[in-house]
Chain A
Amino acid sequence: MYGKGIIKGLGVTLKRFADTYLDDIQWWGRRYYKAEGIAHRSSKDTRGVFTVQYPEEKLPVPEEFRYVPFLVYDDGTDGGKEVRCTSCGICAKVCPPQCIWIVRSNDPQTGRPIPEPTEFFIDADICMNCGFCAEYCPFDAIIMDHDYEIASYQRNVFNMQQLLKPASYYKSIRPLNYQRNDEERRAKEAAKAAKAGAAS
């Protein structure tokens, strides 16, 4: 019969239409604007329309999600900021679009370089969010951020003041990574202390 295929196809759209409302009824009051509803709508079992109404609703980002990086500082004992970066320059060297600029500090007396950056720029307009800087940083000093709402009317060239964020923020967005890095650091420090103890 001519038209059978069309009717079959329309059956699919009709089923979709019904599914959307059936899923709404099944998940009454929980499907929208709730974390469990969003999780349901991005699982394989969801039926019907599963649009997420951005910006009223936002999809949670997974831990590995990467966006323009930031610099990590630890809270110092005197309340100051202990910047983890040692200005070794690996991130600037590995950066594919070369959007990282680092000014290394020199000791004012001896003129020799000290492990601390004077200035640190990231041109976020050029940054391609590849994550190499964070991946190859030996000190976990530069981390990919989760904040993706950075559109602006100007060019986004971030300096060190704008880039610095506390280690607690790092912990809050990437708990598993933070824990892993922390354990590694502790193990390294313990090994160093043991070595120093053995030497003396």
Chain B
Amino acid sequence: MTTLVETETLDLAARFPGSAAADTRPGYSDWIVNKDKLVEVATTLRDEFGYDLLSHVTGVDYFPDKMEVVYEAFKTTGGPGVLFKVQVPRVDPIEVPSVTPIWPGAEFQEREIWDLYGIKFTNHPDLRRILMWEGFEGHPLRKDWHEPFYEEDFKPLKSRWPDGKYVSSEDKNPYKDNLQFPQNFDPEKVKIDGEAPLYDTLQKYTTVDGGIKTDHIIVNMGPQHPSTHGVFRAAVVLDGETIVSLKPVMGYLHRNHEKIGERNTFLQNMPYTDRLDYFNSMSNNWGYSLAVEKLMNIKVAERAEYLRVIMAELSRIQNHLILIGMLLNDLGAYFTPALYAFEERELILDIFEATSGTRMMCNYHRFGGVSRDLPEGVLEKIRGLVEDRLPRKADEFDRLLTENEIFISRMKGVKVMDAEDAVKYSITGPVLRAAGVPYDVRRAQPYGIYDRFDFDVALRHNGDLYDNYLIRLDEIRQSIRILQQAVKQMPEGPINSQKPQYQVRVPAGEAYGRIEAPKGELGYYVISTGKPNPWRYHVRAPSFINITALEKMCVGKKIADFVVILGVLDIVLGELDR
């Protein structure tokens, strides 16, 4: 086991005198960059300092005077990242240069910031709304924007206690519904064609060949399509069966998770994180508790660290099992592999249920530890699974699929992404590793107690669909290895280093907690002002950022490959739309 050490000290202020300065606000760190120099600084960071992977871009609304755009980039060779911010006055139009030409992975994230914060990115190739629809009034993450059921800025709401007469939320809205119209809105007069800007961005063609005129055809895959595993839509231009151009459309499941998170207290956000990637609530909890524990500067109880690893790795195994099963379902093998995959998942969910109380919405982590210890007999069950049942399962899947000729001819050689593009597009997780980049947060910047375990970062080199399938089996085997060690080493002791308290005190500052979730790097960027509620709560959702390169992955392939590519990308709409 080697831990990577930062060899070069990064001093942006010395490199760019006058246009980069250290962020000196209490609890904050790293750099504030002048807006005009942003592109230059970003290029330097990527090319000279080697920060090739842009992890996340997000906005912060420091109501009432300024807006901030926060960037964080990492090296794919590992180590800590660099955080840099651009501050702009909060007067419309707010403009910041786009970093999409430098890191194409920023494209959707900048669209999201434009959508939710109203910050315009100059030089962005396709700046449209992404989660809300065209014609939506306002930018919902701004602090002065209020939702239809708005009561107060922060929970707990005063109407609940001590005089909490029940009123249903709908009754408080004049439309008795979850509806809100801008002032002086007249539906008769307004005509919005939300689809036109989308279709305008698609590349179209008309060819005349031997007197026969060939025209393009636009196909909408979804929003209701079985391959998308939710409500996701892709507008595709086809030439025969070949994809010429593709634009994903999302936001059908958007609930403004981040706005809800800013209304909640710190603890109240915990069960909400379950609902992002609803297959892996155990790992979702972890990212968030890491960020808040960093802010609170507390240590996690020893036994709880082990419990966290056990639960997160079990969660990874069942996620990958489902992925393989449902992928085969998409490929036309119908339900046999899917239901074979569900069996072991069932046994794993039984463990989650016995420990945390719920099968999927576990809400298991608390700041400083976990909520419940393992009940009697559950450790035996886990031991039985990881020593016996799960290794057998991985082998069974190997026999069932890995050598199947039909499967191979369908999967092999259909390239999803090569390594260079995958890094450019900020892709993380198994898809990046299948392309040949050994980047795993558990190794690149170990969190929890991952530095104590002996395991390999699963790696494949071709980046085709078949490798994307194989790497999932590899990861299942590595997770089993980690689990076997964790179950053996687990100590006795308390499960939380803190006293149970329903309102935690979090000092002012910012923190980014990231973990290697089964789908990629899952991070939470949390800003506290010292009050009971976070000022900013941002989720770096791997599903959302991995989908940025969807067009790049699909162009030139058959329309049937789109279904499989979406399958191996492993998106979950609860996390993608947030």
A→B interface (CB under 8 Å): 2-6, 8-9, 11-13, 16, 42-44, 50, 61-66, 87, 89-90, 92-96, 98, 100-104, 113, 119, 121, 123, 128-132, 135-136, 144, 155, 157, 176
A191 to B407, CA, bound (A): 70
Whether A6 pairs with B166 at a CB distance below 8 angstroms is: no
Which residues B433-464 have CB closer than 8 A to chain A? none
Produce 1/0 per residue, B185-219, CB < 8 A to A.
00000000000000000000000000000000000
In the complex, what residues of B have CB within 8 A of residue A102's CB? 160-162, 164
Query: Taking the complex as formed, is B384 at the interface, i.e. its CB lies under 8 A from any CB of chain A?
Result: yes
> A16 to chain B: which residues have CB within 8 Å?
340
Kindly identify which residue among A13, A62, A130 contacts B361, using a CB–CB cutoff of 8 Å: A130
Of A44, A121, A176, the contact of B166 (CB 8 Å cutoff): A121
CB atoms of A62 and B354 under 8 A apart: yes
- Is B156 touching A93 in the complex (CB atoms < 8 A)? yes
Residues of chain B with a CB closer than 8 A to A121's CB:
164, 166
Picked from B160, B381, B389, B396, the residue with its CB within 8 Å of the CB of A98 is: B160
B343 with A94: CB separation less than 8 A: no
Point out the residues of chain A lying under 8 angstroms from B347, CB to CB. 42, 44
From known contacts A44-B347, A128-B271, infer whether A64 and B385 are also in contact, taking CB-CB under 8 Å: no
Report which of A9, A119, A128, A176 forms a contact with B404, defined as CB distance below 8 A. A9
Contacts of A132 in B (CB 8 A): 267-268, 271, 363, 502
> Which residues of B have CB within 8 Å of A95?
156, 160, 268
**Minimum CB distance partner of A133 in chain B:** B502
Q: Which residues of the other chain, B, contact A100 by a CB distance below 8 angstroms?
A: 160-161, 164
Contact among B162, B356, B381, B396 for A12, CB-based, below 8 A: B396
Closest residue on chain B to residue A105 by CB atoms? B162
- Interchain nearest-CB distance for B364 vs A (Å): 10
CA A131 – CA B271 in complex, angstroms?
A: 9
**Are B357 and A42 neighbours in the complex by a CB distance under 8 Å?**
no
Contact between A136 and B385, CB atoms less than 8 A apart:
no
Q: Enumerate chain B residues within 8 angstroms of A101, measured Cβ to Cβ.
A: 159-161, 164-166
B405 located at the interface, meaning its Cβ lies under 8 Å from any Cβ of chain A in the complex: yes
CB-defined interface of B357-397 with A at 8 Å, one 1/0 digit per residue? 11001010000000110010000010011001100000010
Mask of B150-169 contacts with A, CB within 8 angstroms, 1/0:
00000111011111111010
Please, which residues of chain A bring their CB within 8 A of the CB of B384? 43-44
* CB <8 Å contact, B399 and A135: no
Checking B157, B269, B353 against A65 with a beta-carbon cut-off of 8 angstroms, the contacting residue is B353
Cross-chain pair count, CB within 8 angstroms: 148
Counting from the closest, the 10 A-B pairs by CB-CB distance are: A5-B403, A101-B164, A130-B271, A104-B162, A89-B161, A96-B268, A62-B354, A93-B156, A66-B357, A121-B166
B62: CB under 8 A from chain A?
no
Q: Judge if B400 is at the interface, Cβ distance under 8 Å.
A: yes
Of the candidates A9, A16, A90, the one having the most CB atoms from chain B within 10 angstroms of its own CB is A9
Instruction: Find B403's partner among A8, A89, A136 (CB 8 Å cutoff).
Output: A8
Residues of B within 8 A of A92 (CB): 156, 160-161, 164
Q: Is A103's CB under 8 angstroms from B396's CB?
A: no
A62 touches B375 (CB 8 A): yes
Question: Considering the chains assembled together, what is the distance between the CA atoms of A62 and B375 in angstroms?
Answer: 9
Instruction: List the A residue with the shortest CB-CB distance to B264.
Output: A96
Contacts of B396 in A (CB 8 A): 12
Interfacial chain A residues near B406, Cβ < 8 Å? 6
Q: Report the minimum CB–CB distance from A86 to chain B (whole Å).
A: 12
CA distance A12 to B405 in the complex (A): 15
> Closest CB-CB distance, B327 to chain A, in whole Å?
15
- A11, closest chain B residue (CB): B399
What is the distance, in angstroms, from A176's C-beta to the closest C-beta of chain B? 8
B269 closest partner in A (C-beta): A96
Residues on A with beta carbons closer than 8 Å to the beta carbon of B363: 130-132
Check if A93 sits within 8 Å of B502, measured CB to CB.
yes
- Chain B residues with CB below 8 A from A98, complex form: 155-157, 160
CB atoms of B161 and A104 under 8 A apart = yes
Give bound CA distance, A8 to B206, whole Å. Answer: 48
Q: Determine the distance from Cα of A89 to Cα of B265 in the docked complex, in whole angstroms.
A: 16
B272 in the interface (beta carbon within 8 A): yes
CA distance A129 to B399 in the complex (A): 40
A2 CA to B402 CA in the complex, in Å? 14
Residue of B nearest to A159 (CB): B166
Q: Tell me whether A65 and B357 are in contact in the complex, defined as CB-CB below 8 angstroms, given that A6-B405, A92-B164, A101-B165 are known contacts.
A: yes
Q: List 22 A-B contacts (CB under 8 A).
A: A5-B407, A5-B408, A6-B405, A9-B401, A43-B381, A44-B381, A62-B350, A62-B353, A66-B357, A92-B156, A94-B268, A94-B503, A95-B156, A95-B160, A100-B164, A101-B166, A102-B162, A102-B164, A103-B165, A130-B270, A130-B361, A132-B267
